[in-house]
Each structure stands twice: as C-alpha cells, then as structure tokens.
Structure 1
C-alpha cells in the first residue's frame, strides 16, 4: 500500500484514520464508564456498544499490509457509518447520568416497558435539547432490547410531563408487536376506497403530479402508516396514563396549529382521535381542555392533495387501530387509573403531604395535574414555591410506592 514514489499511499492513510477514529471512540467510552450511573441499564448499554467497537478495532488492527484498496474502502465506509450511528447514542447515555433527571421515574417506567414490550427490555432516560419528548426506536443495531426515551432539558425534573413518555414508549410497542402488519390490510382497502370515492380529485392529482395510480397508492400508504403510528402512540399513552396524558399533551402542544407534517395527522384530527378514545375509556375530560384548538397549516405542501386521501383512509382505520391498542394493553394487564386512589392522592396533596399508601405512576400524575389545574395553573412568581412543592410531593409519592412494591415483593 505504498505509492510508486515511496510515499505512504492514500489507502494506507485512510485505514490509519479509521483505526484512530475507532480508538478515540473507545477512549470516549472509557471516560463515560467513570460516570455515576443511577441505574444499571445505562451502563449496560454502554458495555454493549463498547464490545462491538472492540471487535471492530481488532478487525481493523488485524488487516494485513497487503490488504486491497477495495477492502479498505468497504471497511472505512462501514466504520464511518457505525461511528455516525452511535456517537449521538453515547451522548444520550452520558446525559442520562445528569442529576437534573428525575431518577425516581426510572423504575415505574421500566416496569411498563417490561410489561408491554418484553421482560428483557431495558430503559435509558435522558434530558435532551429537543422541544418535545422523543424516543430512539428499538431497532438500534447495537441496542435491540433498549428503549431510549429523551425529554426536553428545561422540563427534566417536571413529573407532570411523564405521561408523554407513554407516547414515546408506544413507538417501541408499535415495532415490537408489529402493529403495522396487523393494520396494513385494512389500511390498504381504506386507501383504495378513499381514492375511488373522489375520481375527479384522483384524476387531477395524477395529472398535476404526473403520478401513476400505483405511485399514488404507495405515497398514500407511506403517509398514512406514519400517521397511524403516531395515533397508536397517543392511544397507548392515553390508556396507560388516563386523563393526565391529555393534560400533558395540551401543555406541550396548545393551541395546536403549526405547519403540517405528512407523517402526522392534522392537529385537530389528532385531538379528535384522543377525545373519541377517551369516550371509549369513559375518562372524565374537561370540555374546555381543547377549546379553540387550531388546525394544522397545509400551505406550500406539494403533497397536500395526496395527503387528503391519506387522511380519509386514516380516519376510517383509527377505530380498528384503537381496538388493537386497547386490546394489547388489556392483554398485558396494564392497570388503568383507579378513581378512589386518585382522589386519595388528591386529598394528600391538598394536605401538603405525599401519598403514603402506594399508587401507580399514572395515578400520581393524574392527581398532580388535577391539583395544578384546580389552582389555576400555578404559574405566577408567588406560586412558584407551591408548584415546586407539588413536584416534590409527586416524587415522594413515587418513592413511597416503589418502596412498598419492593417490600411486598420480598415479604
């Protein structure tokens, strides 16, 4: 791998670069291993990644000097891709150790993940610089059994937003239980019916966008399946957390509107799907909760006409999707809120004491939201202390519940 003039060849230098990059990546992992991990799952995730890159390092180091340029090119391409996929995951794992995170939430959320996805599933939670919570899906190449849920850093200690984690865990449930495959047949029929029901719009779209009918159907399917995944995650969060999911949803996204993304239902449709599901679950919903909710803006979207077909198909498919979601969670024996327990927690909070008898995470957050809303939102500077007290009462109630669960398990 030397050039004709005796200088080191570009191929050899490129291979040296790949070796250095993997070495520095492993050095970074070594530094992260010195972090104080509040839960074992984060350290385990780091170990999985480390072992993969140790194998990759050994492969790079063992390549002979006579290795061909083609092999080096492929090795370097794969190395670059692996580093790109996992660098942000290292950052996520590091931020999961930050003391700003509410570590008390880990165990109840992990139990939910184990219950609805897999007993082998692990959870890593972190604060992130994203506006809304998000999840890495359970298809990370090196971490196939891990759910990574990130929340916005300014809200990292706010227990009231925890119900939104239900939506994020729902993405992993969608994948783990292959919901797409279960709903795709019905969705295909709904798309065909939506297109056939509007022949004039269909012909105009085919002409304006120079699409064939197969391309139109496939584009509708791509948009609709992504929308249904988001709806499924909302249904998942609603079933698990009850009305507190609605409160947290409204807190983050009010008053709707915004530019429409093709992978999401319109703001008003999404809320309506939630309200319809709440009625099925017989949840108590404040009639003013989503008052004045604004529709999404489709302006300047070249696929707006295609999206209209997808929206019709999604609306027709949502009832079946809702049944799938709720049946799954019932089968997994996910406990819904118990009204008497929520009221008991409310009574404790009104007395400025944590709940001492044990309750689910959903029941505690529901009581917290009712307390907050019953006091007008607690947003003024004068009410800051009461708001912070409420957060501490919820955290202490979660700790008490965790303690009681562990004691009863070992009794």
Structure 2
C-alpha cells in the first residue's frame, strides 16, 4: 500500500504574507481551516507543520489566496498619492495625527482578536504613505517588491512625496510624545535625514512611514535629551485647559506606555504592529496599553471610551501650529551631515595614522636596563673640619720646610 504525497506548502514567511495580503487575521484564517489561532501562529512561525486533513485544507486555502492575489496584480492600478481620510476615519484635518492612507503592502491591522484589546486602533489602517504605480498585494509569491513612486520619479522626488505626505502627522505624533514643539520637529527631520542616507533600503521597505516613525520616536524619547540646555526651559503649554490637562497626563506616563498608547489609540495601529514597532511581545504591549488607558481614565474619566480618546488625541495634536521644514532643506541637511561625518572620520583616521607613525619612529629599538637607585653606605666616619695644629704637628711642618725643596741629592751607584 503506497501513501499519497502530502500537499505542498509554501515557506512559513510566504504563508504569513499570503494571509496579510488577503487582509485576514490569524483568528479568521484559523476559523476557515478549523483550528485555533495559536496553531496558525505556529504554522506561520515554522515551529510546527500541519498534517493530514488540516494540511490539505490549509494548502487549498493558501492556493486560493495566492490566486486571488495574482488576479488583483493583473488589474491596472492607478498612480495615486493618498492624502484623504480612509473609511471610518474621524472627522479631523487631513494632515492631523492619523496617516489616512494604507501601507504599501495593503495590510490592515485588524488583529485585535488575538489579544482581546478593543479600541479605536483595532482594524484601523497602519498609515504608511505613498502608493504609486504598484499593487498593494505585491509580494514574493504574487509579484515583485513594491517600488516607492512610478518609474519616471527620481529618488529625490519620491523622498519629497513621502516627506510632504507624512511629515506633518509625524510631527504631531512626536509632539504628543514629548510635549515640545521644537523637539518634535527636530525628531522628524532627523528621522527623514537618516531615511535619505539609507534611501534605497527605505524606498523598498513595506512600510516606509513606519520606518521613519520608529526612528523619530526613538530620537524623541531618547534619555539623552534631558541633558540638553533646551530641555531645561519649559515651553508654553496649550491654550485650552482641557488640552493642557490631557497633555500633562500623557507626559506623566512612562515612555513605553506613552508610545504604545499613541501608536494604538492615536495612529491606529493594530496590537501586533504596535508590539513589533515598540520591540515588545504582544502581551507586553497589551499590558502597557491597558495601564496607560487606566491612568488616563483616572484623571480624565471621559476618555475611558477609546473612540473619544482617539478623537481627543487628534484634536490636541492638531491644535498646535507645528510646521516642518521643506523637503529640499531636509535632504540638504542630510547630505551636509553625511559630509561632516565623512570628513570627521577621515580626519580621525589621518590622526590615528600619524600618531602610529610617530610612535614607531620614536620607540626604542633595544632594551636599556634602568639605572639602579643609590644606596646609603654605612660605617664611614664623617669628615672633620680642620682645627688648630698641635706642637708635634708644628714641629713636623717646620722640619719639612727646612729640608731641601727638591728632594735629597742624587745617589750615584758605584761598581764594587
């Protein structure tokens, strides 16, 4: 009796990519296969492999998702720079706290079923930025990697488009994290300068705005900021008393909880995306989010509703006049910073080479033993100062003076 070959399955990373391209959560895919979402998570991480009927059902479902992705890729896609609010977005300005466009890979962060945390961030778009001439579902199994910008767009134009779209919202998010307008603007500009230095890598990233956002958050929340002279002088608080209370309460939270709250309830990321961006596990991110919400609800009970909290965060961030620099200025600043660092590295290398050459030139070529330290000699009588001569000494001196001054007469030897 021969055993029929098992149904082929793509690699674990490809399985996850197919599920995300179809906008399915692990719980939804598990319900369609007939297993738990922990089992699907183990399949996608490679810790286990499906067998038997579960393998056949899983392979059939993945084939269906791959076919749907291929059919979507064959359809013509318009070249769009998304700036409007997506479906279900709150009624705020287009450049407010939330980035309204979907990410380049078409993911929807609707994985809140896995953690049990509900709120405004569940099922919201993660907000990546510029969609230009690529299919949102593109991946290794369905097509080439997405490009940031159409074929005729130069790297500088693609960078400017990404900056103009996402910089205003990122400055407002950084303001909620720090409460400082100048630091928020500087953090976003420094993050975009780092992105321009690594532009080929960032341009092909699945979520370029997420890359810049993580860099800006790290710079804004760096503990070294407290040692700057600018940090010692407080900035004027918001004019509205309610906004001032909310911002002060938000700034009292520990930085990890504050960042998790802004990402989940402010930006609208899902819990797995929030955990990944904060470099924490999903349970840890959920715990930070619940503690942050409890702290805000204790001080402001009306913010216990996540929808109200999401709207208030957007209003506080939009009430301030936070302007970012122009894209060419940021690019020039990045290039100037790169030139300064390059010249500093060259100068340091030259100084190191010169110091090494000088050391080799002046270093001794053979061993010279050191001079032994002096030792004290004991037993020698001390030197006595001269005094008056005695009678015997006087007599001897006179006797010597009376004798011949040139010695005795020469004695001539005689033959005997």
Same fold judged by TM-score > 0.5? no
| TM-score (normalizing by structure 2) | 0.23
Query: TM-score, normalization: structure 1?
Result: 0.23
With CA pairs under 8 Å and 6+ residues apart, which has the higher RCO, 1 or 2? 2
